[in-house]
Structures are given as C-alpha cells and as structure tokens.
Amino acid sequence: MFFGEELRHHGAVGLLIKHNFDADMIVSGSEEPVGPSMVITKSNRNEIHRLDDRTPLSVLEEIFLNADPLSQLRMKRTLVVGLESNGVLIDPDYVMRNIMDMDQETGAMMIGDLVEDGQALQFHVRDGELASRRLSQNIDNYAAHISERGKGVDAMLCFNSVARGYRMFEEDDHDAKLIAERFGSIPIAGFFSNGEIASRRGGFALNDEEEYTTRVMGYTDTLVMLRDLTDNPNRGIFGRGAASAATG
C-alpha cells in the first residue's frame, strides 16, 4: 500500500464522499445449497466435530452419495459451507466460508471462521450460471424498485470476489458487462476482493430502510449504487451526463 511516496505493509484505505447523495446496496452470491441445514452440536474455535450429533465427514459422504452427478461434480470443485452469522439466519442466505481441512481419522472439519455450538450450517456449491442469473435478477429487481420511486443511479462502486473471474464464467469482465447492460455508461469504480464487507446478504437494501448487521461475506458481487440528490445535475458530485438506472 502506498501513502504518498511511502510504501506501507499494514493499514487500511477508506473513501469519504462528502455530498448530498444516497447509497443503496446489492449483495449477490454465487452458490446453492446441497444437503439439509444442520446444527453444530460440538465445536472448538474453527473446528466442527459434530453436525446434528454426527461427524461432518460422515454427513458429507452421505450428501455426496445422494446427490445427482452434476452436484457431485460441483462438490468436488467448489464446495463451501454456509454459516449462520450472529445468531441471525436470513433464509435462505448464509455467510459463505471455506473448508480448510477434513480430519480423516476423527471426521472433524475445519473452516475459515470461528463457530459456536447451536449455529446452523449448510453445505453449498458455487456455480457460474447461478451467479450470473442471480446478479441479473437482483439488478433488475433493484432497477424496477427505484424506477417506481422515480429515482436513478448516477455512479456505482463494485467490490467483486476474486473467485468471480474467468474460471467461474469462462469470460472476462462478466459482472461488469451485466452491470453496463442494465445501467448504461455510468461511472463505475471498485476492485476484486477476498471477502466483502456488507450490511446484508442477498437481494438489495435501500438506504432508507431498516438496518442490517454488517458481516464479512464471501464469493459475492457487492454493489453500492450512488444517487445524486442535488437538484441541479450540472452541480452534482457526478457532473453532467450521468445515466439513470430507471431508463437503462
């Protein structure tokens, strides 16, 4: 990270926009569940020893044997766990976490987060077709919603999981192309990330609606839509010629 002419190895970068604008959010995932939702019944930090009083390995073996061939293929390639977060489960949405290791002797599973007994967990697989369809649906739903309110989008921030690249979609700039098709040539800035911080999971959240718990997501495309509230568009933060999502 660069700070002026200095190279820093630790720190954070923030962006402050001081202006009369509103910000809405879309959080779009790329996974679907395999197997039932279960409860962690024995754990230690990031180690899960029992799911519904069974070892995670035995549960996973049963799910795999009962899955269709396509789901089995996806389980071999893109298996993750969906974890209930902060005691609140927004059905059918979970926070995705990586599987770090499976102990073949004890049947325990290690994941990339701390867990507690009583939390819900469900295995998921990631899929490019599902990710594309879900992002399109979320964008269309949001655009229709703000159009009914007579609003538009003037600029956008896009924070995209590093896993949502060419290997998932077999094409470059997949998410950016979808966004451009719906919202037109609005200014877009952002970056690829290894974990996206957002205030909710799934669908979209308007700035004037109820608040949601902020969580670290995984494998999502998290969009922040900026709407200029200045009466005169030539004096607004985004300047002349900003496009509108309502007419995209």
What's the CA gap between 155 and 228, in Å, rounded? 9
Contact status, residue 29 vs residue 127, Cβ threshold 8 Å:
no
pLDDT the model gives residue 94: 79
The structure tokens listed for 92 are: 């059918």
pTM reported for the whole predicted model: 0.74
pLDDT the model gives residue 104: 92
Q: Tens digit of pLDDT for each residue in 136-145? A: 888 888 888 8
Q: For residue 24, give the H/E element and its range.
A: strand 21-28
Residue extents of the structural domains in the chain: 8-30+128-247, 32-126
End-to-end CA separation in angstroms for the chain: 37
What's the CA gap between 51 and 37, in Å, rounded? 10
pLDDT the model gives residue 53: 94
Burial of 123 from C-beta contacts in 10 A (0-12 / 13-18 / 19+): buried
pLDDT the model gives residue 241: 36
pLDDT the model gives residue 248: 28
Architecture of domain 8-30+128-247: 2-Layer Sandwich (3.30)
The structure tokens listed for 132 are: 């594309």
Contact status, residue 204 vs residue 25, Cβ threshold 8 Å:
yes
The structure tokens listed for 71 are: 């789901």
pLDDT the model gives residue 34: 92
Contact status, residue 89 vs residue 101, Cβ threshold 8 Å:
no
180: phi then psi, degrees, rounded to nearest 5: -65, -35
Contact status, residue 124 vs residue 92, Cβ threshold 8 Å:
no
- Tens of each residue's pLDDT in the chain, 248 residues: 778 888 988 887 777 777 777 788 888 888 888 989 999 999 999 999 999 999 999 999 999 999 999 999 999 989 999 887 654 444 446 788 999 999 999 999 999 989 999 999 999 998 888 888 888 888 888 888 877 776 778 888 888 888 888 788 888 888 888 888 888 888 888 888 888 877 654 445 555 555 556 778 888 888 888 887 776 555 444 443 333 333 22
Strands (E), the chain: 2-3, 6-7, 21-28, 31-33, 38-44, 47-51, 79-83, 95-97, 99-102, 109-111, 120-126, 155-161, 188-193, 196-198, 204-205, 215-217, 221-228
Percentage of the chain modeled with pLDDT above 70: 83
Q: Tens digit of pLDDT for each residue in 81-117? A: 988 765 444 444 678 899 999 999 999 999 998 999 9
